[in-house]
Structure 1
């Protein structure tokens, strides 16, 4: 080491020591160095976050830090946020990882590069650096005249005390991959310790994490609990007879333990809210007393939290925001007695307890503590729970953070906190997209696939042009909402069937070439080709290959031998593997089928549930059912069971007619026409009605534009498909019409209906079972009312049009951008 280098090194080390927690803060940089006027002591602030991909606990902290320092600039390893509202319109400066392949979905795979990435962020122009870190953010490089305050959610969990758990869950306990992973984690630990020396002041999010910081870094830290939006939760004193747990379904949350425990307590009901990788595993373990609701919006979560008798929490969390949220609702907590919960829940040894702890993460321990809770020996009041939650409010966090920064860095004049009564400035509307989309569909009829596509193209912000292979009501509907439409001559494809029984002749091949030429001509001005149906996919895929435009297929079928012939399946398989950029599946059933057929990689497939607008149904709220029945010529006093679908054998209208023979006091209403050459089936239905003297109880309404009015005219909506349905749009529409729904237990229906909660499921094709269910519903008004209530919540919260359209548009935009980068 040269003498000059040694002197410089010692000088930097002295400056670094001077800024440690046990010493006063450094003097500010000179005005010339900071580029500010003498009168301006306001620091330039940089906020560094690990990665921006979602809005969870760490991001809630980030949101409040930004509120304290509204002029700060944001830095992050990657930024793939869709909802940016909590950043108040800010965008993060990112690292080179942002542009690496598959970074959006697999950013964690680049963990070995993150130390290098975070060190490349240039923060040299800032006076105050605040890092929000649970991985690498605290490792950002800062100079001796900069103050670096690190709010630590945890030292890197999977590199320290959770390493063995991480390796086990990742199946990396042995072999070459395990050795490589252990070497990477060893490197991360060394880097983590080294970079802790460049932090001037640590803030821990709990005493638990403060102990972890001291053990790992040998540094002291100030504890400032994370912010919880307590004001958004309202306490409720009237508790109902069910327990609640809510969390992302990942292994360390231990939702499976809670479900196992309640499986041993069939007399006690558990409600589970959340989604994630372990959803299928948890559903498989659920017993009838366990309701798996999946993802739910805040309104539903809030409602269940307020009404639950207790909130059950089995994870070892650093803090545990949901535990505080439950208490803000006046709901006591049953939690694993380790980690942050020990600081946020007051157990029965306190004068004003707010919950109970169980000692081990086992089903037996949970059963024991729930039994103790049920004895009523201990008293938990909503007022005590709420008062305890108030200790963790947003306002309290901002006050403590600012006070701490003012104490450790008195040279800075901090910006005033925003007026609590005044909302922050609204985020500016995003500019209209410059995305150019060519949407292609094979049909002119208004089937379910076309109605779902209509919602996308009429609400998309970019420039959308549509090509249809046939004329009809779909073209009229598109033009009515201002979408440009070109109709190509696809009549020569009319005899081409899904089952592959029709053989392509010379005329059909000429027709295919005409469609290809027309689609190819329109595609040259598009950034992406969006194909909606199977025939359109084949034509669009070839056109995209020739024009070098990426093709996205919105898959609305289950591509299996039940629905398609071998030739069609082979065409689908190779077009998908070789010519398509991306596939959007409308249900998990559709996604599973196309994955089984094509072995499509995960990054090329997304599941986006169809969105159905509630507006047509809401517009009829003030219209009496008797008026709607009069409009369609339906009997006023009859109990009407409706079936809403095109007339096709696999849609199963005959099952309803067979069930009707066992339900003499009911009428059936069939809404739909034989759209795709299925006239023989319609004739069979009408013959069955005459043969069994059902003519006065079966009402064929044919094709109807106003489905909402038709559904509100009946008493029950049925879905009778005898083969797995790709999605089941009619089920959502039935829920929006506020009618109880009975559906076939198969396919995409399973994404929509929770049996006995928001609808009733029947075995496909079982007319006797359907008849029993219909009779049960007819005689049980409270059950019908409960199904209607839960069905409407399910339809509006999970299947709204905004989320649907935004998800599809985001996928199309991402695909187009990737194509541009490839040149």
Structure 2
């Protein structure tokens, strides 16, 4: 088998922990054992053939339990120092022909082999598993704790990549391999039930554990020997990447990027199957050093100005090692890197992220790194790396086992924690928040403000993965991601007819939401599809459902079928509706005849903090970051690319505004790629390419808005609210918005913004020209807009209003 199993280190989500077999009777029996002598501990590892990431974890587990016995499928180690000289008890595969070099070929036999290891004499079993170790057989009086580097990735999400790399995509061998992997998946799920406690090596892997095994896990990051790396504050003018050269590490993408930046030097350390292909792409400014001993790697890590990392890793030890050297990281913003690198826009940053594994994205990140807009301190990098030290790992592991199995480790004395005197009292409200999207749209950003500031216990269910999940977990909100891909083609206009696959997908979402709703006092649904699933789950589980309506439910936005579903779900299944504007409230009342006591209008609250943090940064710095012209008058449009959002209106207006530039921030999120193609074709057809800038999706909207002179809102249909208008006001930029929908709750024409007719490009052009030539007008709009945004649309009032409604609804439900 050609897949490199040892590369699979991983991560997951913070959850509660349950000891499946830890009953009082079991504890009494274990206490009797301990009284008669020390508990016996067994440590089970997949295979012992090298010293890599998983073996570093094993080394530290042994340090915690030095008297433990070791078990493994095979043991062919030559250097046994990290095992303290111990030899593993092995399976029958150890003696099979060619096992030393071809042990991976015996994967079909490994489930059977691991089950033949006799651990019946041990009280505590700790498995270190990225393949089969967790499948050992244990009895009801034994406690099995499994440290999971990843569920068997080549049998789950990497199956197709594994088959491709092994040349097993077609033919009889392919069929046989697929049958084996199917068997392995079934065995993997079945044996997960015999584990008492799961530990994940990152949040990323905890989510994978939950998705595959439907089990919670504690996150304890894997150990990194940070003491072996010395920090250095004096950096030299080169970038470094170091890795085994295999396809998923994306070293070739990094090399391609630097080949297009001949003024930047890149040093590449590592070897592997892709070496020749990568060498062929290297230019004179790219030095391919191949495999190097630790001393050389260490020296280069200390001196490099930044470490570049383009893989989607479950954890990524090299990223932590670079920071231990005081070196910031430029990393792909997915997987474990999100947990080990502090982003450039946060406090004490240690690196920055790029969003796609492409040369262009890496080039943009390097340019931003070189711009001087960000500063990185070697001491901050080192301090962040120390969170993942060997000592921290041992402390975390022993403390966790002391909590879940105190009969084996004496727990530390309890420390009484006192709440800060001025802190608001916690609420006992339990909320299940449900959203259909993994993207960070306006509805999701508004929901984020609610759940991160709510005082009760909030758990979130999403129907898709993405930046929204990352943002929620970053503020400590528990998240479960359900598979909602089958709903991806369902459109608001009702033109998509539900097929069998879509109906099966709905049932899966309903089961998952229903499972989470049973522990909630109230279900808080945020979007239309989430409302339908949540309403049915609430009906079955007998939980009240509150819909935060962020749409105008009219024929302009929805098809007849969707409107009928919304109407009857709202009338029959929802306890309460929160509308984000008077326009949204009026539309839902017209559709459903909802009684006044079941409907509240609560304007969205938007935090001013991301904008005030950038007050000291000059506009030219933001323009340099995004590659915008320094001297031009720039108009910004901030929204996902969709026809009803009206980006084409601004392009038409730009033809009349000869000296202006336009910036479009946003992507085509929901099957609207055709519209994006039309916009780009229009730009080329009318010679606007030099004056139109498509920036795609951007995380930092505040920085983007600070880079422009005017913020425009161009929707051609009534907008439910108009979050971008508030953000424009907070960024202290004059705002032009269309005269319809929720916008009318925000803008007083000529006072804090200027209104124009939806779809009227000529009027928009006249307004933009007027703003360009009238600086006093711009200043007055900015001043009044900022006052309006901070006084009427602050987050505190918003969150308190929503929380009060949820509390009231839950309270009424309890009395019934």
TM-score normalised according to structure 2 size: 0.48
Higher Cα radius of gyration: 1
TM-score by length of 1: 0.48
